[in-house]
Amino acid sequence: MSHLSALPSRAVVALAGAPGSGKSTLAEALVARIPGAVLLPMDGFHLDNAILDARGLRARKGAPETFDAEGFVTLVQRLAQGGEVVFPIFDRARDLAVAGAGVIARDTPLVVVEGNYLLLNRAPWTAARYNLTLFLDRPQPVLAARLTARWQSYGKEAEAIASHLKNDLANAALVAGGSRPADIVLRG
């Protein structure tokens, strides 16, 4: 039984993958089935549209430079220390992050973190540590179909969908080619 004492009081699992790979769906399903687990989506760390506009990055929203990566990594580092952690949640309908909208209680045993760049092999992303990493690897045609359906569901017109799709697939290529190896890779 001594090996049980080596387990952390709070495990942090990273679920990474390209936009449209099914990260959110899988993460939500995992959290729903594991008592006491909490979901922490990376999307809450999107920079506000006013900041993106000022930096000329609005068209690239979703790329690594459009996130508060330092803030995200700091929060992930805090998870391992235990205690209560408050985090922002991205509201897709309003296209903005809501500060302090999520809470991880001090006694939460498992946090499932999901996002595109959790395993990106560049600073500051490499400073985030996880107990287990999973990567969803999906073929580009599957991603394109899922992303097109996503943007259609938001009522976007064809021109806007094409623009979003170009950006999303560029981000998907970066995730596929620039991520560190995961402990477990789920393909399909």
pLDDT value of residue 10? 93
pLDDT value of residue 161? 86
pLDDT value of residue 4? 37
Q: What is the pLDDT of residues 6-53, one digit of tens each?
A: 556 899 999 999 999 999 999 999 999 999 999 999 999 999 999 999
Share of the chain above pLDDT 70, in %: 96
- Domain membership of residue 164 as a residue range: 2-187
pLDDT bracket for residue 188 (50, 70, 90): confident
The alpha carbon torsion through 70, 139, 91, 124 (nearest 10 deg) reads 0
Q: What is the CATH number of the domain that holds 148?
A: 3.40.50.300
Instruction: Look at the block and give the residue holding tokens 């395993």.
Output: 119
pLDDT value of residue 80? 87
Contact between residue 2 and residue 100 where contact means Cβ atoms under 8 Å apart: no
Domains contained in the chain, number: 1
Other beta carbons within 10 angstroms of residue 94's beta carbon come to 8
pTM: 0.90
pLDDT bracket for residue 1 (50, 70, 90): very low
Instruction: Look at the block and give the residue holding tokens 């699992």.
Output: 13
- CA–CA separation, 53 vs 41, rounded Å? 23
pLDDT at position 2 over 50? no
